[in-house]
A and B are shown apart, each in its own frame.
Chain A
Amino acid sequence: MLINKLKYDIIFPLALLLLNVVLTTCEERFTPDLDPKYENVMAVEGEITNQPGPYIVKLSSSVSFDVRQAVPLTGYFVEIEDDMGNSEVLTEIEKGVYTTSLYGMQGVVGRQYKINISATDGRTYTSDFELLRPPPSIDSVYVKVDYIVDNSLPYDLAGYRFYVNTQTPENEKSYYMWKLNATYEYSSDLIIRWMFDGQLHQFTNSDSLRYCWLTKDIYEYFLFNNENLLTTNVEGFPLHFVPVDVRDLSIRYSLLTTQYSLSKDAYIFWSNVKEQNENLGNLYTKQPFQIRGNLYNVNNGSEPVLGYFMVAGKSEKRIFVNRPNDPVVMRYGECKLVEQDYKNFGALFISSPAEWPEYATFDNNGISAYPPQECLDCQEKGGTIVKPDFWISD
């Protein structure tokens, strides 16, 4: 179970903590010399589920740590095949991204699927058939106020912890994975009064740049299985935590929870990956090893292939939560006009045309100020002013 694996991540720091009463441990940046032979290994990611397509398969190669992007593998032949003799060849719609057609193959619960890949030089890769398991449905996702302890803070940091309840009708062992995608609404802290695009204009439409929505993937996935549970239902499984020291919970927050029902092999793959990627240097975790996925070179079994082509039942649930009420106090930083902002107002007129339009404001006394743009234009913080289609206002 997942819980077992996480245990020493908690216990071990405690042992250190006890010692920390009297001494100091140290963590510092360290970059060992690494052999580049592990770069350029093929990595596959993709899935077929019971949800309508198109299904996407991405091919890339492994890269060294300082490369911040996957290197796509283009020009491959990619095909998804089921156990009834149906198959579909995917088309490369952008570099390294291969997709089924809009009304092409559709995953069916109970059938088995595999992937076949060929490179132009003749290397052929395949996976073994995996069963598309029935999608469990998410009963509910809800939040509770939780606190985490951060030794650097004089208070316990509050926030929302998300929990999931899942109903699994049949009496069988299920291997779950949850992926999360969050969208939140937030506002800029100050109201735009002026716009400058070479000339200074009064800005009346001030609400238009005030509210934004930001959507992001939560870079953490959650795993659980009911192998050892009396019930097949999952109740109150803790997902991620959103603290109040960021803007995420400032107005309204929406979480899209995608639940996968995996094969045991896929579950083991993801739990190994999770364990190895979350290990923070304690010695009570399992011996790490090279995790290879479910694809292999047909002619050369020793060639490593990374990544997993998932065949999974999939269901989704979106929920909305509002800003937490008392006694939770929001702790993110807000813009307030300071003396420098007033002094800076003149700088507005010598701002670079490349940055136009620039915005400015004035206070209750009518004194103008030129604060940082992110205090005025919510888009500066990465969101968009277009309300998402799925957004349901309070």
Chain B
Amino acid sequence: MKKSTLLLLLLLLSFLWINLYAQTSGIKLSESYNNLNWQQFAAKAETELNISFFYYPDSIPDIAITFSHPNNDLIFVLNENFKQYHIKASADTKGNIFMNKENVIKTKLPDDFFSLSMSNKLNETSAKEIIDRDEFLKTNHEYISKTFVVGNKKAGVYISEAAVTGKILSFNDSLPLPGATIYIDQLEKGAVTDNNGFFTLAVPKGKYNLKVRNVGYEETSFKVEVLSSGSQDFYILKKVFLMETVEIRSEADHNVKSVQMGVEKISIKDIKEIPTVLGERDIIKVALLLPGVQSIGEGSSGFNVRGSPADQNIFYISDVPVYNTSHLFGFFSAFNSDAISEFKLYKSSIPAKYGGRLSSIFDIQPWQGNMEKFGARGGISPITARLLAEGPIIKNKLSYMAGFRATYSDWVLNFVNVPEVKNSKGNFGDGIVNLTYDLNARNRIKLFGYYSYDNINLASKVNNSYENTGASINWYHSFNKNNGFDFSFASSIYNFTEDNYEYSVSAYSLNYELQHKQINFDFTSKPSENHTLNYGISSILYNLDNGRQIPYGEESLIIPTVLGEEKGLESGIFVSDQWTVNPLLTVYAGLRYNYFAYLGPNDVFKYRENASKIPENIIDTLHFSDNQIIKDYKGLDYRFGITYLINQDVSVKAGYNRMHQYIFMLSNTIAVSPTDKWKLSNYNIEPMRGDQFSLGFYSNFENQKYELSIEGYYKKTENLVEYKDGAELILNKYPEQDVLQGKLDAYGIELMLRKTSGKLNGWVNYTWSKSTVLVDNKITGEQNNFGIAYPANYDKPHSINVVANYKISKRVSFSGNVVYSTGRPITYPTSIYYQDGQPLLNYSLRNEYRIPDYFRMDASFKVEGNLRKRKWLHGSWIFSVYNITGRNNAYSVYFKSEEGYISGYKLSIFAVPIFSVTYDFKLGNYAD
């Protein structure tokens, strides 16, 4: 007789190979079973009836089991009694009874399920698997199923080592799982799946327990016997009870064991309930709750990572760079979170395959269409409506996903009885589509498209619109067990136009466009078990149209101004190696050689050497023809990382990065404004160079439930682009005349504690940091702030974030945030002086003061619809309150003259608690 409790997922795995009876068992219960409590009932039945129960230990309430004759069939009785708890019983032919929460059970698998799993197999041996319930084995901690045999004896006769390859897939939807870990305890050896769920693991021939882990999935053990090299896919099951809860969890051992540091990975379901402004889910606002990520203020676009300006970050969504990531000036982000599966933020340890940004890489993975069946979901919040559809085009081969979001604020504005508002428009929208094609187990092709737009108009004054358009194609190919290849081509266009017709004589229309085309060849290979090599090349072609200002309307007398076009080619060749020196020591080293060429056609000024770049110092104008190299810059990037495991749960890591950046944002506003342009390093403006040193201590404890990390960093940026005071940049033909290049120094310590599982989960972090800018060119004598170093606009020395989620019951959960930070630096007017009888403000040195500290608490409450299995639509409601305490956090402080008297004012944007309700729906039941 077997023990009655067993992990459900193993059963579901084994469902692949067995047929199940549906709703009756053929076992009739005698009256002696009537009125027994479940525990007693189960014990008695297992002893007397030669059956076994399989269920989650705590999932079945210990109720009294009652029945009446003649309805005494075992399964019928169980179903009747547990119906109110949404628990269903089913049985197979061998006397195994499965007790499941209704949403998960699959009493009968899809007809083609078997063929699906077959088709994904590389090796025929696994098809021969026949799982016998009697062969479940007990190891130290878990039950594992029958042995999976890899390879065959014949092929393995002359070898001692073999390579196991395969995919880790989700049992629920057969999607591959990137970033899953495969680990063999006996060998202290493991592997991580790549972006397409592939893994390679070299092991001596033998029998092993293979553990598979992935965020949001059950940790699963498989018994594997390796006879020779071969392939085996493994299916793991989504965590049922933690579905859609905040459960921030990187790859299980990631925090301690991986060689990366300063990398945050967040899956979209982790953020579903985090309360946000107006119920609009927003990955960027969530990123701001992570340590070392700051913004200038609520409703400002972009963010600042570890004391660096916003233009030192790049956002990639499926390899497409997105240059304007905000909607409505930054109040919302340009990514519809429904259509995203996860994002990764590299604050340090930026892999060698990425280059071109000094501070961070924000890599967003879009949602992939379900390969099996059609699905749809969507929702409405006070601001937007969302809709997403996904499904197979060729089942298990080709799937699509399309997600759209748009505002309906114009419609709302029509009800406001103020002409200025009524005639105003402010709308935005975005769409994400992709196609995923699994040609075969070795090839996968993805097509992706992205679009976002904003259109903001104030009646009869100014019209602003901007849009991002991008597309990419990605081909993943696995040559053999040790070599993979990833090719991508992406194209992205960012443009904006502004029409200003306040004064008809000078009414104008202004435009800007940036085109980014990027090609990547990225190879991964494992020459030996201890080394993982990553090498490749990437190349970016930039085409910038700095825009033209043309007359708007017939009365306008504006002289058309053409700001010119620019072209640049940024190429990189890189190689990196991750070397597991021994089970405790891992080293990562990478080199990236960058070559940037600023290309013609263009005319550039040559200024007197070692003199300030002002018109008086122009000594020559140089003409360049198409594709002629005007100026090139070469730079060598370094990456270095080392991880030493003190024990399995504690590690120390250190890292060093050097990066180069050849594009920057032309901006001297306090926060990034929607008409800020990107500009290339050129003949007169040198590329920026950044170095970052980091050191960290990591620990997981309480069985991986808690993750603790302490990271310190020191960053140095050379050639930081700053501007002369009061510079006019919008219509500037020669920005180099207003640019001053300086230095940025930043350092800080980040403390992070996460609880990754359980009813209560979330994180707490504290960051202490400093970021200082110095512009003092000793050669030309040019200075900012009179040559005195000043805090960067986003420098917030102390910052605390608390994010918590508490699952009250299966249908109800509660989430909350607490956010504190030091007020941002500000340049205050500190005295007044008179001109013409009027008081004027005299400002302090730059950023000498700070606005009041920031504090906010938010809460949200999520209620799921009922858990009935048979339903076509499942809905959920999120009620949230942003800024519960209604604290008037300062957005800015300003001074104005009132009747000749200067008074200070504090402006708060979200000054009252903001309630909002969001409704989400999806086809199918809770679990689908």
Say whether B828 contacts A217, CB under 8 Å: no
Smallest Cβ distance from B886 to chain A, in angstroms? 9
Counting CB contacts under 8 A, is A23 at the interface? yes
Tell whether A228 pairs with B549 under 8 Å between CB atoms, given A10-B458, A289-B843. yes
A58 to B833, alpha carbons, bound, how many Å?
11
A302 to B787, alpha carbons, bound, how many Å?
10
Measured between beta carbons, the chain B residues less than 8 angstroms from A16 are 909
Counting CB contacts under 8 A, is B670 at the interface? yes
Smallest Cβ distance from B153 to chain A, in angstroms? 70
Say whether B835 contacts A26, CB under 8 Å: no
Say whether B842 contacts A62, CB under 8 Å: yes
Q: B676: nearest residue on chain A (CB-CB)?
A: A284
0/1 interface trace, chain B 730-749, chain A, CB 8 Å (1 if under) = 11000000000000000000
A72 to B328, alpha carbons, bound, how many Å?
48
Say whether A287 contacts B827, CB under 8 Å: yes
User: Which of A18, A24, A28, A289 meets B409, CB within 8 Å?
Assistant: A18
User: Which of A4, A27, A277 meets B730, CB within 8 Å?
Assistant: A4
Measured between beta carbons, the chain A residues less than 8 angstroms from B503 are 3, 236-238
Say whether B909 contacts A39, CB under 8 Å: no
Q: B458: nearest residue on chain A (CB-CB)?
A: A14
Say whether B836 contacts A285, CB under 8 Å: no
Q: With a 10 A CB-CB cut-off, give which of B297, B670, B831, B893 has the most chain A CB atoms.
A: B831
Counting CB contacts under 8 A, is B78 at the interface? no
Smallest Cβ distance from A110 to chain B, in angstroms? 22
Q: With a 10 A CB-CB cut-off, give which of A39, A70, A149, A289 has the most chain B CB atoms.
A: A289
Say whether B420 contacts A149, CB under 8 Å: yes
A345 to B726, alpha carbons, bound, how many Å?
61
User: Which of A219, A236, A287, A306 meets B838, CB within 8 Å?
Assistant: A219
Counting CB contacts under 8 A, is B753 at the interface? no
A31 to B558, alpha carbons, bound, how many Å?
43
User: Which of A4, A10, A23, A283 meets B461, CB within 8 Å?
Assistant: A10
A58 to B836, alpha carbons, bound, how many Å?
9
Measured between beta carbons, the chain A residues less than 8 angstroms from B426 are 14-15, 18
0/1 interface trace, chain A 205-239, chain B, CB 8 Å (1 if under) = 00000000000010101001000111100111110
Say whether B843 contacts A32, CB under 8 Å: no
A68 to B558, alpha carbons, bound, how many Å?
42
Smallest Cβ distance from A215 to chain B, in angstroms? 13
User: Which of A7, A14, A64 meets B831, CB within 8 Å?
Assistant: A64
Stretch at the interface among B16-24, B411-419, B861-869: B411-419
Smallest Cβ distance from A79 to chain B, in angstroms? 20
Say whether A32 contacts B893, CB under 8 Å: yes
0/1 interface trace, chain A 14-37, chain B, CB 8 Å (1 if under) = 111111011111111111101101
Smallest Cβ distance from A151 to chain B, in angstroms? 6
User: Which of B412, B668, B903, B906 meets A21, CB within 8 Å?
Assistant: B412
Say whether B908 contacts A25, CB under 8 Å: yes
A12 to B297, alpha carbons, bound, how many Å?
14
Say whether B837 contacts A217, CB under 8 Å: yes
User: Which of A26, A151, A235 meets B505, CB within 8 Å?
Assistant: A235
Q: A8: nearest residue on chain B (CB-CB)?
A: B673
A19 to B891, alpha carbons, bound, how many Å?
15
Measured between beta carbons, the chain A residues less than 8 angstroms from B418 are 149, 151
Counting CB contacts under 8 A, is A268 at the interface? yes
0/1 interface trace, chain A 65-84, chain B, CB 8 Å (1 if under) = 10110100000000000000
Say whether B905 contacts A290, CB under 8 Å: no
Measured between beta carbons, the chain B residues less than 8 angstroms from A30 are 890, 893, 904-906
User: Which of B331, B557, B838 meets A231, CB within 8 Å?
Assistant: B557
User: Which of A29, A279, A291 meets B903, CB within 8 Å?
Assistant: A29
Measured between beta carbons, the chain B residues less than 8 angstroms from A275 are 726
Counting CB contacts under 8 A, is B575 at the interface? no
Counting CB contacts under 8 A, is A111 at the interface? no
A27 to B278, alpha carbons, bound, how many Å?
21
Smallest Cβ distance from B791 to chain A, in angstroms? 12
Say whether B559 contacts A15, CB under 8 Å: no
Counting CB contacts under 8 A, is A6 at the interface? yes
Counting CB contacts under 8 A, is A240 at the interface? no
Counting CB contacts under 8 A, is B11 at the interface? no
Q: A283: nearest residue on chain B (CB-CB)?
A: B671
Counting CB contacts under 8 A, is B185 at the interface? no
0/1 interface trace, chain B 556-594, chain A, CB 8 Å (1 if under) = 011101000000000000000000000000000000000
Say whether B904 contacts A285, CB under 8 Å: no
Measured between beta carbons, the chain B residues less than 8 angstroms from A228 are 506, 549, 558-559, 561, 731
- Residues of B821-836 at the interface with A, using a CB-CB cut-off of 8 Å, are 827-836
Tell whether A229 pairs with B559 under 8 Å between CB atoms, given A4-B731, A18-B426. yes
Smallest Cβ distance from B546 to chain A, in angstroms? 15
A308 to B834, alpha carbons, bound, how many Å?
11
Q: With a 10 A CB-CB cut-off, give which of B671, B834, B840, B897 has the most chain A CB atoms.
A: B834
Say whether A41 contacts B833, CB under 8 Å: yes
Say whether A277 contacts B842, CB under 8 Å: no
Q: B911: nearest residue on chain A (CB-CB)?
A: A26
Counting CB contacts under 8 A, is A156 at the interface? yes
A228 to B382, alpha carbons, bound, how many Å?
43
Counting CB contacts under 8 A, is A272 at the interface? yes
Smallest Cβ distance from B364 to chain A, in angstroms? 25
Smallest Cβ distance from B383 to chain A, in angstroms? 8
Counting CB contacts under 8 A, is B701 at the interface? no
Counting CB contacts under 8 A, is B912 at the interface? yes
A60 to B840, alpha carbons, bound, how many Å?
13
Counting CB contacts under 8 A, is B421 at the interface? yes
Measured between beta carbons, the chain B residues less than 8 angstroms from A25 are 907-911
Say whether B557 contacts A230, CB under 8 Å: yes
Counting CB contacts under 8 A, is B603 at the interface? no
Stretch at the interface among B126-134, B475-483, B844-852: B844-852
Say whether A287 contacts B668, CB under 8 Å: yes
A272 to B840, alpha carbons, bound, how many Å?
11
User: Which of B299, B549, B561, B848 meets A15, CB within 8 Å?
Assistant: B299
Measured between beta carbons, the chain A residues less than 8 angstroms from B558 are 228-230
Measured between beta carbons, the chain B residues less than 8 angstroms from A230 are 557-559
Counting CB contacts under 8 A, is A179 at the interface? yes
Smallest Cβ distance from A220 to chain B, in angstroms? 9
Measured between beta carbons, the chain A residues less than 8 angstroms from B187 are none
Say whether B833 contacts A283, CB under 8 Å: no
Counting CB contacts under 8 A, is A288 at the interface? yes
Say whether B461 contacts A281, CB under 8 Å: no
Smallest Cβ distance from A65 to chain B, in angstroms? 5
Say whether B728 contacts A4, CB under 8 Å: yes
Measured between beta carbons, the chain B residues less than 8 angstroms from A251 are none
Counting CB contacts under 8 A, is B902 at the interface? yes
A147 to B723, alpha carbons, bound, how many Å?
39
A27 to B888, alpha carbons, bound, how many Å?
9
Smallest Cβ distance from A57 to chain B, in angstroms? 12
Counting CB contacts under 8 A, is A273 at the interface? yes
Counting CB contacts under 8 A, is B209 at the interface? no
A193 to B892, alpha carbons, bound, how many Å?
55
A288 to B828, alpha carbons, bound, how many Å?
8
- Where the two chains meet, the residues of B that have a C-beta atom closer than 8 Å to any C-beta of A are 278, 296-297, 299-300, 328-329, 331, 382, 409, 412-413, 416, 418-421, 424, 426, 456, 458, 461-462, 464, 498, 500, 502-506, 549, 557-559, 561, 668-671, 673-674, 723, 725-728, 730-731, 785-786, 793, 827-838, 840-846, 848-849, 888, 890-897, 900-912, 914, 916
Please list the 6 inter-chain residue pairs (A to B) with the smallest Cβ-Cβ separation, ordered nearest first: A26-B911, A30-B906, A43-B833, A283-B671, A281-B894, A38-B830
Known A-B contacts: A29-B905, A60-B834, A228-B549. Give 5 more (CB < 8 A). A8-B669, A22-B278, A149-B419, A280-B905, A286-B669
15 A–B contact pairs at CB < 8 A?
A14-B458, A17-B420, A23-B914, A32-B828, A38-B831, A43-B835, A62-B832, A65-B831, A221-B836, A229-B506, A283-B673, A284-B670, A284-B673, A289-B785, A290-B846
- Where the two chains meet, the residues of A that have a C-beta atom closer than 8 Å to any C-beta of B are 1, 3-4, 6-8, 10-12, 14-19, 21-32, 34-35, 37-39, 41, 43, 45, 58, 60-65, 67-68, 70, 149, 151, 156, 179, 217, 219, 221, 224, 228-231, 234-238, 268, 272-273, 275-277, 279-291, 302, 306-308
